[in-house]
Amino acid sequence: YEGLTSFERRRALQLPDGYNWRARALAENMRRAARDERDMMQQVLAMFRTQNFFYTLTPPLLGENPIDDFLFNTRSGFCEHYASAFVFLMRAGGIPARVVTGYQGGEVNPVGNYMVVRQSEAHAWAEVWLEDAGWLRVDPTAAVSPLRVEAGIAAAVPATDPLPLTVRGNLEWLRQLRFTWDSLANTWNQWVLGYNPDRQFWLLSRVGLDRATWQMLAVILVGTTSLITLAFAFAMLRRLSQRARDPVAAIYARFCRKLARRGARRAPSEGPADFAVRAAARFPHAAKAISEITERYIKLRYGTLHGRHEVRRLKRLVGELKV
């Protein structure tokens, strides 16, 4: 590895002026008592491990000197608190250090067979520069709460700390439901939202079209579109034909044809009730039957009257009508 440049070293030792004097004094005392950089690093980790520091997702607010407040007053926090306090002490002791953020943990989704890394697995740790080793990864949170690193955040925080129910994972059926939903969402993201040229080529190669020309693909596209259009048109025509075969409408049409043959033709804009009034006036001897047929038709077609026996009765009345 290459050594640090002067700019990198200066940046890895930078601290804000005028703040956290107690933490600075603690770091200077540790540095004087330490044999070397590694020993000071172990002193800070031992402090976190043996003193009353706690891991929680709901730490109290920190004041104007946040590192002092954390190390000497609240002593409660999550990974970012411990990583930043550790890096501050290292820098104050003259050892280059930096905070690193990323993710720690994850689990395999057995439904889709892939690794799931959630926002709840976000983590912060530190890196310390040692002249004989380069950048060395150090996780101060592991000194306070080994469970956070070994078993995940749900095992590390108290049951009273707020966590999504899906992160706690106490219910097996809920875990399976979460895996299934996540797998569906991942499939949608991969094959719909992320359908790029590489995935197109992979899909075509699976069906033996990896060497297809653009002319062949155009024919396939037109053919597929035509089949979909024909299927849609067939479904619509079938639905329209079903509407046309409405037995109540067919019986009433027969009733209108019967009256039309006797000179009472229904106008296209004429409603059933108005037509019944006019037909009854033309055929007074059949007025009662015309009114009953029309009333029953309106109730069957637009009202609450229903049932096959009612349709059969309407059909019988139209058949018995004499004009």
Express each pLDDT in 143-193 by its tens digit: 998 876 655 566 555 556 655 555 555 567 777 888 898 888 888 777 666
Q: What is the pLDDT of residue 175?
A: 78
Supply φ then ψ for residue 101, to 5 degrees. Answer: -120, 150
Of the residues 164, 194, 219, which one is the last residue of a structural domain? 164
Cα separation, 146 vs 136, whole angstroms: 19
- pLDDT at residue 149 in the model: 63
**Rounded distance, CA 291 to CA 297, Å?**
10
Q: How far is 158 from 167, CA to CA, in rounded Å?
A: 13
Most confident of 34-48, 164-178, 299-313: 34-48
Q: What confidence category does residue 74 fall into, taking pLDDT thresholds of 50, 70 and 90?
A: very high
Cα–Cα distance, 240 to 245 (Å, whole number):
9
- C-alpha dihedral sign at 105, 106, 108, 114: negative
Residue at 228 is within a domain: no
Same domain flag for 125 and 261: no
Q: What pLDDT is stored for residue 218 in this prediction? A: 78
- Domain presence at residue 265: yes
Which residues does the annotation mark as catalytic? Answer: 79, 123, 139
Same domain, 154 and 277: no
251 in the same domain as 127: no
Mean pLDDT over 120-133 rounds to 92
- pLDDT digits 0-9 by tens, 204-215: 677 676 666 767
**Region label for 63, one of left (φ > 0), alpha (ψ between -120 and 50) or beta (otherwise):** beta
**What is the rounded average pLDDT for all residues in the chain?**
86
Q: What is the pLDDT of residue 255?
A: 92
Residue 12 lies in a domain: yes
205 inside domain: no
Is residue 83 pLDDT above 60, yes or no? Answer: yes
Per-residue model confidence as pLDDT tens digits over 225-250: 899 899 988 888 877 765 556 888 88
Residue 218, domain member (yes or no):
no
pTM given for the model: 0.56
- 280 plus 153 within the same structural domain: no
Q: Is residue 316 in some structural domain?
A: yes
In total, how many domains does the chain have?
A: 2
Model pLDDT, residue 245: 67
Return the closest-CA partner of residue 110 out of 58, 27, 172, 61: 172
- Let me know whether 159 and 279 are in one domain: no
pLDDT band at 219 (very low <50, low <70, confident <90, very high): confident
Say whether both 297 and 154 belong to one domain. Answer: no
Where in the sequence is the domain holding 296, given as residue range(s)?
A: 246-320
Q: What is the mean pLDDT of residues 276-297?
A: 92
pLDDT of 224 over the 60 cut? yes
DSSP 188-237: HIIIIIT--HHHHHHHHHHTT-TT--HHHHHHHHHHHHHHHHHHHHHHHH
Task: Characterize the bridge pairing of strands 54-55 and 97-103.
Answer: unpaired
E strand map for 27-186: 54-55, 76-77, 97-103, 107-109, 114-116, 122-130, 134-138
CATH number at residue 46: 3.10.620.30
Percentage above 90 pLDDT, the chain: 49
Q: Is 16 inside a domain boundary?
A: yes
Claim to verify: residue 155 and residue 250 sit in the same structural domain: no
Q: Of 140, 164, 188, which closes a domain? A: 164
In a domain, 145, yes or no: yes
In terms of C-beta density within 10 A (0-12 exposed, 13-18 middle, 19 or more buried), how is residue 23 classed?
Answer: buried
Mean pLDDT across 288-314:
87
* Beta strand 54-55 pairing with 76-77: parallel
- Mean pLDDT, residues 93-117: 90
Q: Which two tokens stand for residue 60?
A: 């109290």
pLDDT value for 190: 77
What average pLDDT score do residues 127-137 get?
94
Choose the final residue of a domain: 117, 149, 164.
164
Q: Which of 129-138, 212-221, 310-319 has the lowest mean pLDDT?
A: 212-221
Task: Note whether 143 and 274 are same-domain residues.
Answer: no
